[in-house]
C-alpha cells in the first residue's frame, strides 16, 4: 500500500462567529487545526472522534464544499485548492461523498432514477438511450430493484435511501469516497447491510474510502488504518489492529474503554475522564486533551505535542508527551 492518492498538508479551517445581535465581539472557531494526513489507493482510512471534533469539516474540505483557511490538499500530486471551473468539475468526478442523513441529502421532488442519473448527465457519461439501463444496473448493484426507479425518496426506508445515495456516488466511478457517518442514522441491523455493501463495492470498483464515524466498533470493522481526532487535531494514527491492541494516546484509551464487550462474563475497566470536550472557541494551551487527561504531567499544559512516530515502529504516530 504505497500508491499515495491524497496528501493533506497543514490543513486548517477557522470559522469566525459573532457574539450575538447586541455584541460586536467576534470569535474564531478552530474547526480543523494543522492536519497532516495521507490516504493510499485501495485502503479505508477511518477517522474517529467525538461529535464536534472537526471530522465532518475535514471531509467537506477535501470535497471543496468548504474552503480552507490554510494548508494544501494534493490529489495525484496536484494541489486541488488551485482548481476552478472545469478542473474542479473533473476533480469532483473522481471524489464523491456520502452524507450522514440520506433523506436530507436527497431531493424530495425527484425520483430515485433521476437522482442516480444526475451525475451521469452533469459529467456527460451517458446518452439518453443507455441512461435508463445504467440507472437500473446501479440500483441492482446497491441492492435495489430497477422497478423502483420511479419512486420518490419518501417511498423508501432509511436504508434504501442510503443505498440510493451510494448508487449516486458510484455512478461516475470515483476513485475516492468520503463516507461521512454513513450508517449512524440507520437501525443496527441495517447498518451491517450497508457496511457490507460498501466493502463489496470497494472490491468491485477499486474504491478508496475516508470513513468518518464516532462509532469505534464500526470503524474497526471497516478500516485498514485509523486516525483519532480531538478538537480539530489528529492525536493518533496507526493500523487498525495496532490501535485496538496497543493504543498510545490517553484519549484513544478512553474511547476504547467505552466500547462494550459482547460477552457478559468479561468486563472492561473503564477509564473515566471529567468534563466535556473544551470549546474550539477557546482551546486550551498546550495539549488540547490535558484538561481531561487522567495521565497528564506538568508539560502538558505548556507545550503542544507534535504528531510523531513515537512507538519505535513504522506507521504508528501519536501526539503525546508521555509516548
Q: What is the 3-state secondary structure (H, E, C) of 102-166?
A: CCCCCCCCCCHHHHHHHHHHHCCCCCHHHHHHHHHHHHHHCCCCHHHCCCCHHHCCHHHHHHHHH
Residue 274, pLDDT > 80, answer no
For the entire predicted model, the pTM comes to 0.91
| pLDDT value of residue 278 | 78
Confidence tier at 155 by pLDDT (50, 70, 90): very high
Among the residue ranges 31-35, 163-167, 258-262, the one predicted with the least confidence is 258-262
pLDDT above 60: residue 70: yes
Query: What are the sequence ranges of the domains in the chain?
Result: 224-323
Short-list 217, 197, 219, CA closest to 207:
197
Q: What span, in angstroms and rounded, lies between the C-alpha atoms of 24 and 281?
A: 16
Query: Which residues make Cβ contacts (< 8 Å) with residue 31, sequence separation at least 6?
Result: 13, 14, 15, 54, 57, 232, 280
Query: What are the beta bridge partners of residue 181?
Result: none
Contact 185, 102 (CB under 8 A): yes
pLDDT of 283 above 90 = no
Q: Which of 26-30, 102-106, 154-158 has the lowest mean pLDDT?
A: 26-30
Q: Taking each helix axis from N to C terminus, what angle separates 158-170 and 188-205, rounded to the nearest 10 degrees? A: 10
- Whole-angstrom Cα Rg for the chain: 21
Identify the DSSP state of 282.
S
pLDDT at 27: 82
Please give the average per-residue pLDDT across 125-137, as a whole number: 85
Residue pair 170/149 in contact by the 8 Å Cβ criterion: no
Given a cut of 70, is residue 65 above it in pLDDT?
yes
Alpha-carbon distance 293 to 103, whole Å? Answer: 38
Task: Say how far apart CA 133 and CA 116 lie, in whole Å.
Answer: 12
d(CA 57, CA 320): 24
Q: What is the rounded CA–CA span in Å between residue 102 and residue 153?
A: 9
Which residues touch 5 (CB under 8 Å, ≥6 apart)? Answer: 39, 40, 41, 75, 76, 175, 176, 208
**Does residue 192 have a pLDDT over 60?**
yes
Element (H, E) at 218: helix 216-222
**Hey, what's the cell of 226?**
485509523
For position 130, what pLDDT does the model report? 84
Of residues 284 and 80, more confidently modeled? 80
**Predicted local distance difference test score (pLDDT) of residue 297:** 92
Lowest-pLDDT choice from 17-26, 119-128, 129-138, 249-258: 17-26
Q: Is pLDDT of 313 > 80?
A: no
Instruction: Return the pLDDT at 94.
Output: 96
From the number of C-beta atoms within 10 Å of its C-beta (0-12, 13-18, 19+), residue 192 rates as: middle
Q: What is the mean pLDDT of residues 161-169?
A: 96
User: If you search the block for the grid coordinates 492525536, which residue do you land on?
Assistant: 235
Q: Does residue 309 have a pLDDT over 60?
A: yes
Amino acid at each position: 500500500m504505497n500508491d499515495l492518492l491524497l496528501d493533506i498538508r497543514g490543513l486548517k479551517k477557522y470559522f469566525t462567529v459573532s457574539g450575538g445581535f447586541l455584541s460586536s465581539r467576534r470569535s474564531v472557531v478552530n474547526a480543523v487545526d494543522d492536519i497532516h494526513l495521507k490516504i493510499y489507493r485501495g485502503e479505508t482510512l477511518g477517522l474517529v472522534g467525538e461529535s464536534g471534533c472537526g471530522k465532518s469539516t475535514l471531509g467537506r474540505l477535501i470535497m471543496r464544499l468548504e474552503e480552507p483557511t490554510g494548508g494544501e490538499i494534493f490529489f495525484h500530486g496536484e494541489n486541488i485548492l488551485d482548481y476552478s471551473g472545469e478542473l474542479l468539475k473533473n476533480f469532483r468526478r473522481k471524489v464523491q461523498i456520502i452524507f450522514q442523513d440520506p433523506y436530507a441529502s436527497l431531493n424530495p421532488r425527484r425520483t430515485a432514477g433521476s437522482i442516480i442519473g444526475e451525475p451521469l448527465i452533469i459529467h456527460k457519461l451517458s446518452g439518453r438511450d443507455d441512461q435508463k439501463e445504467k440507472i437500473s444496473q446501479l440500483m441492482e448493484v446497491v441492492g435495489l430493484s430497477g422497478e423502483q426507479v420511479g419512486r420518490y425518496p419518501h417511498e423508501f426506508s432509511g436504508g434504501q435511501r442510503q443505498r440510493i445515495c451510494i448508487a449516486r456516488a458510484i455512478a461516475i466511478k470515483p476513485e475516492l469516497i468520503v463516507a461521512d457517518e454513513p450508517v449512524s442514522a440507520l437501525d443496527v441491523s441495517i447498518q451491517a447491510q450497508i457496511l457490507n455493501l460498501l466493502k463489496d463495492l470497494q472490491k468491485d470498483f477499486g474504491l478508496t474510502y475516508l470513513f468518518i464515524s464516532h462509532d469505534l466498533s464500526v470503524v474497526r470493522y471497516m478500516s485498514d488504518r485509523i486516525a483519532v481526532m480531538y478538537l480539530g487535531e489528529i492525536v493518533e494514527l496507526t493500523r487498525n489492529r495496532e490501535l485496538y491492541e496497543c493504543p498510545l494516546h490517553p484519549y484513544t484509551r478512553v474511547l476504547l474503554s467505552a466500547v462494550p464487550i459482547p460477552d457478559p462474563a468479561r468486563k472492561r475497566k473503564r477509564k473515566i475522564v471529567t468534563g466535556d470536550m473544551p470549546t474550539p472557541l477557546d482551546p486550551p494551551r498546550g495539549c488540547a486533551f490535558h484538561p481531561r487527561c487522567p495521565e497528564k504531567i506538568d508539560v502538558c499544559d505548556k507545550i503542544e505535542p507534535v504528531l510523531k512516530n513515537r512507538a519505535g515502529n513504522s506507521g504508528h504516530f501519536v501526539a503525546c508527551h508521555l509516548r
